[in-house]
Amino acid sequence: MHRIVLSSLFLILIQYRISAQNTANSQTEDTSAIPDIEKVYVHTDRSCYTIGESLWYKAYLVYAYTNVLFDHSNALYVELVSPDSKIIARNITRLENGLGHGDFKLADSLGISAGQYQLRAYTNWMRNFDDRFIFNKTIEIIDITQKEDVTPVANNNAATSNSKTTISNNITSGIKHHSIQLFPEGGSLVADVSSVVAFKATDSTGLPVAVKGRVLDAQKNEITLFKSVHDGMGKFMLTPKKDEQYTAEILDDQGGSLEAKLPPIQHQGYVLSSRMVKGKRIITIKTNESTLQRDSNAPVTITCKAKGVTYFEGAQPLAQTSLSFLFPEEEIPEGIAQITLYDQHARPHCERLVYNNKPEGIDIALNLDKSQYSPKEKVTLSLKVKTKDGQPVPARFSLASVDANGTNNDGNMNICSYFLMTSDIKGEVYNPGYYFNNSNPKRLEHLDLLLLTHGWRNFLWKQFPVSKKPPAYKVEKGINISGSVRTLFGEKPMGNSTVSMVLMNKGKSILLDDVTDSIGRFEFNDIVFNGSSVMMLNSQNEKGKKWGLFRLDSVHNSPTKTNYTPILSGSLKTKTIKENIYKKHINYGVPIDNILDEVVLTTKKKQQERSKYGFADRTYIPNEKGLSFSNIFQLIQFSIPGIIASDNSIRFNRSNGPALILIDDVVSEMGDLQFVHPDDVAKIESINSARAAIFGSRGGNGAILVYIKEGSTNNRLKKNFHSITKLVQGFYEARTFYAPNYETESKTDIDTDIRNTLYWNPYIHPDENGTAELSYFNSEVNNTNVNITLEGITNTGLPIVVKETYRIED
C-alpha cells in the first residue's frame, strides 16, 4: 500500500516542485522588502540563584530570518523584572558583531526577595515591531534563610481563542481546577473527513497534567478513548458526522470528570494534515464529497514559509477527496515551517506547523581530561567543532559549569529551543529544552504534538512584521546625547549656535562639537564609553558669546512596558535546590549570613554617603535646629574640614588652586556662590581624593558640591545656563567572573569555597583549526556532580547546545 501511495506522491511532487522553483525566483526579487528583524537570545549561567549571588549572561543578536549573528544594533537593554512587574535593574550592554555579555549582582539592596523574576532583553530597533520579539526568561531567586517558600501563584493571563475549547469547571473532584484545550489539526473539523484532534491539559497553576478520557457524541455514546502521552498533551482520531456535537470527557481515579465541547462540525471545507512515512514527511489535503461538488476541479494552493520567507508554493486542482505530496525538506531551513492552504479565491482555510529537522552536518565534541575529579582539582576541557569531512567550523560559544546540587537546568530554555522553536510560537512552553535534547528518543514526535497545540493558528511569522514609516525607534550604534538650545527669555530656538561637549571618563576625555539647526537642535550620536562619565556642555552664539538655555533630552530611552506575572513560585524543584544549598552551607561551616555579605558591607559604610559622582569623601546635611551662619562660606568651612573659604576662593588646605564648585550639578563661579543663602542649602559634599579624577583636569584640586533645597524662596542663585555638568551612564562595565586558581594561590588563603557556579566564560571562540581549550578549578565541595553547558552559534546560523557531566569525589 505504501508503495502505491509513494509512487503517486512523487508524480504530484513534480508539479509542486516546478511551481516552487518559480516561486523561489520571484522570492529573490521580494527579499529586498524583508525588514531588518532582530532576535536576541540570552544565555545565563543558571536559572536559579540565591540572594547575594551574581547572574552572568551572554547575549546573541541574530538576523531573524537566518539566525546568523547580526551586526545591526550595538546597544542591548537587559532588565531584571520583579514579581510585581517592576524593573529593579537595567544594564545597557555593548554588542559587537551581535555578541555581548554582562551580569547582575542579586543583592537585596535592589529590593530582591525570594520569588520568580523575569530577565528580558531588547534593542531600541526591536520596539518598531511586535513586542514578542523581546526576549524573556524566568529566573528563580531563593532565600535559604527563609523557612517557608512563596505560595504558588496561578497564571491567570493565559491567552484564549474562540476557535478552540477551554473550560475549567468548579466541581468538587480532584480535577475541578484542570483545564483542557482541543485543537483540530489544520484548524477545523469537517463532516465525514478523518481528522486528528490534539489536546493539552493543565492544572490551576498552568502546569501540564497527565489526563485520560473519552469522546462522546450527543447521545453519550463513546466514540473513542484518549490519553496524554507527554506533558499533558496527546491526540486522537475522529471522523465527525454532520450536525453532531461531540464532547471530550476527562476522568480521574476518584470518579471526578471534566467536560469540554469540541468545535462545531463544518459541512464543507478542507483538512490539512502531516505524518511521517519511512522518515519522509507527507502532507495531505482532505475534503468531503459535498465540497468537491461545490468546487468541482477548483485549484487549491499550498504555501510553505519559514520565518516569514516563502520557500515553496504550488497550485493543484482537487478532483478527489484526498491529495498528498512530499514535504520538500531540502529546500526548507531547519526550524518551524508554516504550511497554509488557500482556496481558489485566495482565502486561507487551513494551517499546519511542522518542524523541519535536518542533520547538523557538523561534529562537535566537548571532552574532559577525566570523568571524576577531587575537590579543588584542575579541570581541563577541549572543544572541537568541525564538519563531517574534518573542516573547522567558525562559531561563537559561552560556557557555564555549575554544581548540580545548586541548580537544575534540565528542560530549561536554551539557544536551540529559543531560536528554532519558542521565539516563533506563542504561549509558555514547559521544559522547552526537552525537545532539543538528542538523548530523548521521542523528542521529535512530542515536538510535533507541541506544534499541534501551541502553534495552532498562533504562529508569529504569518506575515512580515510591519514597522512604522519612518521607524519610530532608531538603530542604536552607541550612546546618543541630544537636546536643544533656546534663548534665556522667551525660549526661542537658537539656531547656528555651537555646542561643545566634554565627556570625561577614567581620566580620558572625549571632545565633540555640533552646530544647532534652525530649531535649535543638536545631536551627538553613537558615542562609545563605559560606566559613569561626567558630561560638560557649553553653548555659544554666532558671535562667540556664551549664551543660551539648554533643554536636554533623556540620554537613554525609557523601558518598554512590563506585563509580567509569575506562573509558579515555590515548586518542588526549587525546594530541593534550596535544601541542597542550605546543607552545603551547614556541612562546610559557612554561615548563612555570609550570603548577604553585600548588605553587611553597606551597613558598615553608612558614614560614606554615595554622591551622584560616586562616593563623596565628606557629606554634610544641615540641621534645621543647628547652628546658623551669616554666609555660605562660613557654612562650607564648618561642614568640610580642611577647607579654606572666602568670598574670593575656596580651596582644600593641601591644594595649590581653587576647588571646582558645582551648584545643583552646574559648574559655577565664586560670584554665583555668594548668592546662596545658608538656610537654602540642602546638602554639601566634597570630593578631594582620587575620585575627583571623574571631573578631569578641572577636578585636580578637588570639588565642592552644593545642593539647594527644592522650592526655596530665598534662592537667588544666578546659574550659568549656557553650561551644564551632568553625570551620564554609558555601556555597562561587565565584571570578570572570578574563580580561584589553586596552582598560584595558597589554598589556606582562600575562604571556604562552595561556589554554585564553578566557571563562567562568555567568550569561547575556536581557533583556525576549530579547537579551543580551557580550564578552571573545582570548589572544595565533595560528593557532587557538575553540569557543563556549552551554548553558541555557528557563522552560518546553526545554534548549538552541548552538555557534559562529571563527578567530584575524593
Q: H or E segment at 670?
A: helix 670-673
Q: What is the DSSP string of 314-366?
A: EEEE--SSEEEEE--GGGS-SEEEEEEEE-TTS-EEEEEEEEE-----EEEEE
Residue 233 pLDDT > 70: yes
When mean pLDDT is compared across 232-241, 460-469, 534-543, the lowest value belongs to 460-469
For the stretch 95-148, pLDDT in tens is 999 999 999 999 877 888 889 999 999 999 999 887 878 999 999 999 887 765
Q: What pLDDT is recorded for position 645?
A: 77
Smallest CA-to-CA distance from 462 within 575, 299, 348, 564 is with: 348
- Three-state secondary structure readout of 705-752: EEEECCCCCCCCCCCCCCEEEEEEECECCCCCCCCCCCCCCCHHHCCC
Q: How confident is the model at residue 4 (pLDDT cuts 50, 70, 90)?
A: very low
b/e for 473-493, b at 16 or more Cβ within 10 A?
eebbbbbbbebbbbeeeeeeb
Distance of alpha carbon 77 from alpha carbon 83, whole angstroms: 19
Maximal C-alpha separation, the chain = 106
Instruction: Calculate the alpha carbon distances from 475 to 37, 62, 562 in Å.
Output: 11, 14, 22
CATH 1.20.1300 fits 479-552, yes or no: no
Q: What pLDDT is recorded for position 451?
A: 92
Q: How confident is the model at residue 25 (pLDDT cuts 50, 70, 90)?
A: very low
When mean pLDDT is compared across 480-489, 626-635, 681-690, the lowest value belongs to 626-635
Q: What pLDDT is recorded for position 793?
A: 96
Tell me what the mean pLDDT of segment 484-513 comes to: 85
- Three-state secondary structure readout of 750-781: CCCCCCCEEEEEEEECCCCCCEEEEEEECCCC
C-alpha cell at 766: 575556536
Q: What pLDDT is recorded for position 144?
A: 85
Residue 162 pLDDT > 80: no
Q: What pLDDT is recorded for position 625?
A: 62
Residue 160 pLDDT > 60: no
Q: What are phi and psi of 688, to 5 degrees?
A: -130, 15
Q: How confident is the model at residue 799 (pLDDT cuts 50, 70, 90)?
A: very high
CATH of domain 165-356: 2.60.40.10
Tell me what the mean pLDDT of segment 607-618 comes to: 65
Q: How confident is the model at residue 173 (pLDDT cuts 50, 70, 90)?
A: very low
Distance of alpha carbon 349 from alpha carbon 189, whole angstroms: 11
Q: What pLDDT is recorded for position 593?
A: 60
For the stretch 74-92, pLDDT in tens is 999 999 999 999 999 999 9
Distance of alpha carbon 193 from alpha carbon 45, whole angstroms: 50
When mean pLDDT is compared across 279-283, 297-301, 416-420, the lowest value belongs to 297-301
When mean pLDDT is compared across 262-271, 283-292, 366-375, 669-678, the lowest value belongs to 669-678
Tell me what the mean pLDDT of segment 697-710 comes to: 85
Q: What pLDDT is recorded for position 647?
A: 65
How far is C-alpha 112 from the chain's CA centre?
A: 19
Tell me what the mean pLDDT of segment 718-723 comes to: 63
612: helix, strand or coil? coil
Cβ–Cβ under 8 Å, residues 478 and 526? yes
Q: Are strands 799-808 and 372-373 parallel, antiparallel or unpaired?
A: parallel
Cβ–Cβ under 8 Å, residues 74 and 96? yes
Domain ranges across the chain: 165-356, 479-552, 610-720
Q: How confident is the model at residue 557 (pLDDT cuts 50, 70, 90)?
A: confident
When mean pLDDT is compared across 220-229, 357-366, 687-696, the lowest value belongs to 687-696
For the stretch 301-333, pLDDT in tens is 999 988 878 888 888 888 899 999 999 888 888
Distance of alpha carbon 230 from alpha carbon 443, whole angstroms: 10
Q: What percentage of the chain reaches a pLDDT higher than 90?
A: 43
Cβ–Cβ under 8 Å, residues 385 and 362? yes
b/e for 756-779, b at 16 or more Cβ within 10 A?
bbbbbbbebebeeebebeeebbbb
Distance of alpha carbon 349 from alpha carbon 187, whole angstroms: 8
Which amino acid makes up residue 799?
A: P
Distance of alpha carbon 143 from alpha carbon 112, whole angstroms: 10
Q: How confident is the model at residue 418 (pLDDT cuts 50, 70, 90)?
A: very high
Mean pLDDT, rounded, of the chain: 82
Q: What pLDDT is recorded for position 465?
A: 53
Q: How confident is the model at residue 757 (pLDDT cuts 50, 70, 90)?
A: very high
Q: What pLDDT is recorded for position 29?
A: 36
Smallest CA-to-CA distance from 485 within 549, 552, 554 is with: 549
Cβ–Cβ under 8 Å, residues 527 and 505? no
Q: What pLDDT is recorded for position 14?
A: 38
Smallest CA-to-CA distance from 257 within 267, 248, 266, 244 is with: 248
451 burial class (0-12, 13-18, 19+ CB within 10 angstroms)? buried
Q: What pLDDT is recorded for position 543?
A: 78
Residue 30 pLDDT > 90: no
User: What is the number of helices (H) and of strands (E) in the chain?
Assistant: 8, 50
8-state DSSP, 376: T
Residue 211 pLDDT > 70: yes
Q: What pLDDT is recorded for position 598?
A: 35
Tell me what the mean pLDDT of segment 376-393 comes to: 94
Q: How confident is the model at residue 607 (pLDDT cuts 50, 70, 90)?
A: very low
Which amino acid makes up residue 677?
A: H
Residue 3 pLDDT > 60: no
Distance of alpha carbon 144 from alpha carbon 748, whole angstroms: 27
Distance of alpha carbon 89 from alpha carbon 753, whole angstroms: 28
Q: What is the DSSP string of 87-151?
A: EEEEEEEE-BTTEEEEEEE--GGGT--SEEEEEEEE-TGGGGS-GGGSEEEEEEEE-TT-SSPPP
Torsion of CA 111, 117, 121, 127, to 10 degrees: -90
For the stretch 38-62, pLDDT in tens is 999 999 999 999 998 999 999 999 9
Q: How confident is the model at residue 73 (pLDDT cuts 50, 70, 90)?
A: very high
Residue 227 pLDDT > 90: yes
Which amino acid makes up residue 14?
A: I
Residue 594 pLDDT > 80: no
Q: What percentage of the chain reaches a pLDDT higher than 70?
A: 83
For the stretch 439-477, pLDDT in tens is 889 999 999 999 998 866 533 434 445 555 678 889 999
Residue 718 pLDDT > 70: no
CATH of domain 610-720: 2.170.130.10
Tell me what the mean pLDDT of segment 168-188 comes to: 70
Distance of alpha carbon 503 from alpha carbon 755, whole angstroms: 39
When mean pLDDT is compared across 254-268, 449-463, 751-765, 793-807, the lowest value belongs to 449-463
Q: What pLDDT is recorded for position 671?
A: 73
Residue 159 pLDDT > 70: no
Higher local confidence (pLDDT), 343 or 653? 343
* Fold match, 165-356 / 610-720: no
Cβ–Cβ under 8 Å, residues 146 and 486? no
Residue 33 pLDDT > 90: no
Q: What pLDDT is recorded for position 803?
A: 93
